[in-house]
Amino acid sequence: KQKVLEIVCEKTGYPPDMLDLDLDLEADLGIDTVKQAETFAAIREAYGIPRDENLKLRDYPTLAHAIGFVKERRTDKAGATAPASGDAQPAAATTAAAEVIKGSLEAAARIPRRVPKAVLRPALEQCKPSGVHLGPDSRVVVMLDGGGVGKALVKRLDKLGVTTLVIDDVPSREELADRLQKWAEEGPIQGLYWLPALESEGNHSDLDLDGWRNGLELRVKLLYTAARALYEQFDKEGTFLVSATRLGGRHGYEDSGATSPMGGAVVGFTKAFKRERPASIVKAVDFPATRKTAELADALIAEATTDPGATEIGIVDGKRWTVALVEEDLDDANPGMELGADTVYVVTGAAGSIVSAITADLASADGGSFHLLDLTPEPDPDDADIRRFTEDRDALKLEIFERIKAAGERATPAMVEKQLASLERAHAALEAIEAVRAAGGTAHYHSVDLKDAAGVRSVIEKVREQSGKIDVLLHAAGLERSRRLPDKEPSEFDLIFDVKADGWFNLMSAAGDMPIASTVCFSSIAGRFGNAGQSDYSSANDLLCKCTSNLRSTRGQTRGIVIDWTAWGGIGMATRGSIPEVMKAVGIDMLDPEAGIAMIRHELTGGGRRGEILVAERLGVLLEEFDDEGGLDRSRVDTSVRGPMTGEVVAMGVNDGLHVRTRLDPAKQPFLHDHQIDDTPVLPGVMGIEGFCEAAGLLLPEWTAVSIEDVRFLAPFKFYRNEPREVDLYTQLTSDGQEIVAHCRLVGSRMVKGSDAPRVTTHFTAKVRMTLEVPAEQKADAPPADGEGVGATDVYRVYFHGPAYQVLDKAWRHGDGVVGRLAQELPANHDPGDAPLTACPRLIELCFQAAGVWQIGKTGRMGLPSRIARVALPPRKADGDLFAVVSAANGDERYDAVVVDGSGRVQVALEGYETATLPSELPSEERAPLAAAVSVEA
């Protein structure tokens, strides 16, 4: 008994005199299931009890049960050595005052800025079968929509011999659960099609709260009921759950925004269900608004039976899409908001510790008027317990325990924690109020239940009367209680979902036509990826994402932002209990609070972008693919006409995109053998660009690469000891209007001495823009006549290039720049020599080298390629010699260039070519001919 109590004290932080043997571990001690598992693991270790895979924690609900577990299972009846007393003692009785953490815009800017984007999936004929087989042995539940898609689906399933169990009404949750239980008792159920979110929602401004709730009851709460009732049916391969939505065909990640945004709740739930039932095929399939039924029904069958690699699928214009994260900088070309004394804020969840800190950070921008909303009553600044909460929390905990006992109640740690949690929220609310006032702002505190439409309307009417506008509506309220579906009761699902969902609706409904400059909603990585035990949280968060996306079409003047937060470190709920250990175990970083606190100010003021942003560093397990090849059947990707940078197709992951691996050998490839620095072959940056164009066209052979944008040469790719290496090309294909943009990375990995894992480096990145329309031929001025300049002999005394890359025949000054003529009869660039090229790499190289003549002649130093803003690839049809015309008007490290033939027909054009200047100055005898060519003294 004593040993077990010491272990529990260590895990919970409670002293032994607060623990009774009949206390329920969860209900009375507040120990969640993860912490229970840790506690039992510590007990097993202390007593040498073997791990039992079939152990069910719910069979040991109390401390007495935990002690009984030891008596039953221990093999050493004499007992085991208890943890050292110093290790098993509860935390010290006195806690120092908590340090106030302030936000830092610099820290916020260091966090990778990832945004969800619709990215291309392979065509179904290029994908693997999912393992779902629909036929006479299949029994499938279909919840119909009101538009006929479900009826068309049922007809097709019937033709396949499937037994369809159709729900063609809107039952209550109890009726639905009973019906599904009866069907399950009659035989196994292989799959569930959930189609209510295909129905139009109309304009949300025309809904009242009952209409809003009824719409979500039909779409997501009945889905929760169905998935919970059939939970045990989906524990093996060959089963499936497919939901369908009308968010627009790309899940709302398009310029026009999401249509029928209630579907976001369905998608969020579906993603969470996949995390709980990973063996099953689980998909949310999104469509645009259309009257077609047969086509959608065929797609729903195909998605169930094909492509095990993705959960979010969109279908539009004959192409399949999913959602992935793409790094995207703030749009600093468009100004962000100016926060100041006239800014009006409405903040929900204001008594949360994280929200309180963010409020203080926003107020630091010269005050403002803050309307702080929370269920917590307005705090009394003279309440001694609120002050003691941070100054002496452990002593306060014991005092509260004694108060409960003195009142004649049964005191439990859970009761103590409940009162402490109330004090914590009161303390956070008070800190927010005081921070606003200290910054010279005005704080208005409103104790209100966000689910109460009348109460929220009353608050917003006060805002209207006082200001007539809202500049920042920050919807941060929310609850989170992790429990898997079998253990998640309807009342809990409703509470967690409704605070976010009804709160949003009530706020926007009450605001009506009042100007709102920006909204910021709190979502989470659970909303983006789904998470086991968080079906309600994920559903509500993804609903907020899609409602925010919908603002683009319904409230275009409002800039809608959603933050998908990872768990915070140092502040908030996630810092307690087992969450930090769990996050570390699955490779997910906790968020630096200095960065998180300033993140909203950073987004609002740093630029004009809108939409959903994920705020996290490493995401660990969340980025693991559901299938090793990403659902792609690699043998079905046509690589018969391949360029020199295209090797084997490895996978088509949701998160990495198309992965192509190419083995390059300096002994075979001229572009490596003739591109050596200090006797080490280095992959030319122009061949990296070529690789990007080749990879971008693999899945879209009928499309044309018209430009390469934002090219960054981050690190040289070297072939040490002249040995072959593998180049990994990753390509994510997104849409931009009628064009496709490929986000590309060139990555290398190698083993280094003293390391057990390979060192992985991203060497180059770029975006390739593609179009179905062949671009028009471009014309420029004809090249100027030859002038006095520098020839190849003197150029390649300076440059390191071998014959295949000695592309410059002659260079001479022209205005504020230089002209370089392409050498004739160059050796082959690559092997095999007939492998097609897409990006004319040696013409781009001609621009590099011509610009280098100017830079060396002017400065005496060589510059290596660093960045290109844009490379245009018009149709190429040359007549005679080719010339690179380079302008150095932007300085000695930034150039524009165009390659033309004798008639001025453009072959390639560069904008914003930048170099990284090497530190050492070249010898004067090498520099002199180049300096003379650009008319500068050597």
The string of pLDDT tens digits covering residues 808-819 is 999 999 988 999
pLDDT given for residue 394 in this prediction: 79
Q: Residue 475 above 80 pLDDT?
A: yes
Longest dimension (CA), the chain: 103
SS3 495: helix
pLDDT in the model for residue 87: 31
Tell me: pLDDT of 32 over 70: no
Task: Kindly report, residue by residue over 698-741, the tens digit of the pLDDT.
Answer: 999 999 999 999 999 999 999 999 999 999 999 999 999 999 99
Q: Which of 479, 492, 480, 910 is nearest to 685 (CA)?
A: 910
771: helix, strand or coil? strand
Lowest mean pLDDT among 2-11, 157-166, 441-450, 768-777: 2-11
CA dist list (Å): 139 to 149, 150, 163, 196: 19, 16, 5, 20
- Geometric angle at alpha carbon 353, from 15 and 388, rounded to 5°: 50
Higher pLDDT, residue 230 or 3 = 230
Q: Assign residue 485 a region: left if phi > 0, alpha if psi is -120 to 50, beta otherwise?
A: alpha
Candidate from 84-98, 429-443, 809-823, 858-872 with smallest mean pLDDT:
84-98
Percentages helix, strand, coil for the chain (3-state, rounded to 5) are 35, 25, 40
- pLDDT of amino acid 938: 40
**Percent of the chain at pLDDT above 70?**
94
Segment 840-866 mean pLDDT: 95
* pLDDT exceeds cutoff 60 at 76: no
How confident is the model over 188-223, as pLDDT tens digits? 999 999 999 999 998 898 999 999 999 999 999 999
| Residue predicted with more confidence, 36 or 223 | 223
Instruction: Note the pLDDT of residue 275.
Output: 97
The pLDDT of residue 97: 41
Q: What's the whole-number average pLDDT of the chain?
A: 91
Q: Which of 356, 383, 382, 381 has its CA nearest to residue 370?
A: 356
Per-residue pLDDT band for 571 (boundaries 50, 70, 90) equals confident
Q: Is the pLDDT of residue 55 over 90?
A: no
pLDDT at residue 831, rounded to an integer: 95
Residues with Cβ < 8 Å from 897, sequence gap 6 or more?
847, 850, 851, 884, 885, 886, 887, 909, 910, 913
Structure tokens at 254: 């398009």
Q: pLDDT category, 30, cuts 50, 70, 90?
A: low
Report whether pLDDT(86) > 70: no
Q: Which residues contact 300 (CB under 8 A, 6 or more apart)?
A: 149, 153, 193, 242, 244, 285
Model pLDDT, residue 92? 33
CB 133 within 8 A of CB 305: yes
Give the model's pLDDT for residue 558: 97
- Going by pLDDT thresholds of 50, 70 and 90, the confidence category of residue 3 is confident
Predicted confidence at residue 78, as pLDDT, reads 43
Beta strands 369-374; 442-447: pairing state: parallel
- Can you tell me the distance from the alpha carbon of 138 to that of 189, in angstroms, rounded to the nearest whole number? 7
- Asked whether the predicted pLDDT for residue 582 surpasses 90, the reply is no
Q: pLDDT category, 95, cuts 50, 70, 90?
A: very low
Band of residue 889 on the pLDDT scale cut at 50, 70, 90: low
pLDDT tens, 170-186?
A: 999 999 999 999 999 99
Give the mean pLDDT of 487-493: 96
